[in-house]
Amino acid sequence: MINKPDINLLKKELPDVQIDHEIGAGGFKVVYKVLIHGKPEALKLVQIPEDPNEEGVKEENRKRIYREIGILKKCESPYLVKLGSIELADLLIGGQGYVMYSEEFLPGNSLRQLLQSGFKPAFNELRGLATALFKAVIEVASKQVIHRDIKPDNIIKTGMNERPFVLLDFGVAFQIGGSNLTRDTLRVPGTLHYIAPEMLETGFRQNLDYRADLYAIGLTLYEYASGINPYAFRNDAPFNTLYRIKTTTPESLSSKRTDLPKEFCSLVDDLMKKLPALRPANISMMIKKMEAIS
């Protein structure tokens, strides 16, 4: 876990940046809302281990940051987060090394926050979410990239008409044909309850494609609509979760939300098929179908 910097030392190191508050932290990363010339941005600090025994982790973290920024620079979709004004730079605070950069600060709440509040979206909102995520994945896939971590925590409902939902965090994105950044080849990058079944197979990286992201979109839509992740059980062992991901088919979304159009529920169900070949793959066609559902 990240060793968060002393906030007063951070302010001294960045005199032109007004630190507002911490947005969140996880793994080796902490994010702050900051003001730069009066404009809000999201400042990211990623810890770089200095322990010689963790040299591999240090190099892996650094490469992931460069990959994430490289991807965001290439993508133009309004449904993907944009880089901010602070360029990638090293920062030393209290003897601890970090890499920092900024992204735009988006208004609104994550889908996770909305789920925790008990919010249940209507169909029009779910349609808008699906369309935004489909268009984001079209953009990402065109760059030969797989996000690999689409989930409610990484999607912001902004309240902006032109960008109602925005996808964040390319920290574990996979570049097709690129080098493997995971030192432990048996470790599956991503978040346990949103991992596509094919990512649990030996040698999965050789055949991985954007349909893994489509699976995660289906699961995210299912959870946002129903309030239930069918693979998340309290106090359950990771092995049991992985077994269910590979073998258990969730109940149809229509059984959880009888008010939603059956065509929409069927599409969500199909996106969560275990085999990538059984999932809908023509994203443009899915967007058209979504628009036609009444």
- pLDDT higher than 80, residue 178: no
- pLDDT higher than 50, residue 184: no
Report how far apart, in Å, the C-alpha atoms of 215 and of each of 134, 163, 225 are: 11, 22, 15
User: 220-254 pLDDT, tens per residue?
Assistant: 999 999 999 999 988 889 889 999 999 999 999 99
Assign 161 a pLDDT band (cuts: 50, 70, 90).
very high
pLDDT for 117: 97
pLDDT for 190: 75
Q: Do domains 7-104 and 109-292 have the same CATH topology?
A: no
189 compared with 180, residue with greater pLDDT = 189
User: 110-123 pLDDT, tens per residue?
Assistant: 999 999 999 999 99
Domain extents in the chain: 7-104, 109-292
Mean pLDDT, rounded, of the chain: 90
The CATH homologous superfamily for domain 109-292 is Transferase(Phosphotransferase) domain 1 (1.10.510.10)
Mean pLDDT within 170-197:
72
Q: How is domain 7-104 classified at the architecture level of CATH? A: 2-Layer Sandwich (3.30)
- pLDDT higher than 50, residue 185: no
Assign 64 a pLDDT band (cuts: 50, 70, 90).
confident
pLDDT for 122: 97
Assign 25 a pLDDT band (cuts: 50, 70, 90).
confident
Assign 272 a pLDDT band (cuts: 50, 70, 90).
very high
pTM of the model: 0.89
3 compared with 246, residue with greater pLDDT = 246
Mean pLDDT within 35-41:
95
- pLDDT higher than 80, residue 95: yes
pLDDT for 183: 45
- pLDDT higher than 50, residue 9: yes
